[in-house]
Amino acid sequence: MVTLGEKIKRGNSASHGELFVNYAHLHLLLNHVPVIGSIVGLGLFLVSFVGKNEDLRRASYIVFAGIALFTIPAFLSGFGAQQMIKGPGVSDDLIRRHESSALLSLWFMEITGTLALIGLWQSQRTTRPTRWNIAAVLLFSLLTVILMGRTGNTGGDIRHPEVRPGNAATVTEGPKVVVDVHDGDAFSRAHPDRWDCRTP
């Protein structure tokens, strides 16, 4: 039985004629939606307090509920991306930190989406959601935006080596030369393209 990791590795090395899913690129496409969507939802929710615009508040609830559903595949695609970028030059500690941050963001986003659905249900029964629901959505949406931003930053720390030319995951550094600045001959040998302008 072929495991998911083996399928991903095969897909990463498959020829152009074969159809496969590049989970790393898929994750890069999906993971921006929860970050931007949570900010848009919070913006609509805050603006709805101006003039007590209930229609705008319901629109923000719909955005929160939709982003909560979209966050699940964005999170799951990260497991496939993790298998593709593992290797020399990629820090496991950074990957684990990003995964932990993403999991926490997922839970807060799902809670926010659930509260938004409750608010939509309440708005159908009465003219507006209850005060506790509005306060809860405000609190959790603020925390979610903060956590989503942190998750995006931790993902950026990995530096996404899968988008480099040739899918290279390592960075090769040239040889390091220690030169005594007081030794003019050694400096000239280490830097032949530079003039030694010091006075004798």
pLDDT at position 41: 95
**pLDDT for position 51:** 80
> pLDDT (tens digit, 9 = 90+) per residue, 175-192?
444 444 455 555 455 555
The stretches in the chain having pLDDT less than 50 are 1-5, 7-8, 10-19, 163-181, 187, 197, 199
* Cβ count near 125 (within 10 Å): 7
Domain residue spans of the chain? 4-169
Phi, psi for 170 (deg, rounded to 5): -120, 155
Q: Is 81 exposed, middle or buried (0-12, 13-18, 19+ CB in 10 A)?
A: buried
Those residues with Cβ within 8 angstroms of residue 137's Cβ, 6 or more apart along the chain or in another chain = 45, 61, 64, 112, 115, 116, 119
CA neighbor of 107 nearest in space, from 148, 139, 135, 158: 148
The predicted structure's pLDDT at residue 29: 85
The confidence score (pLDDT) of residue 21 equals 66
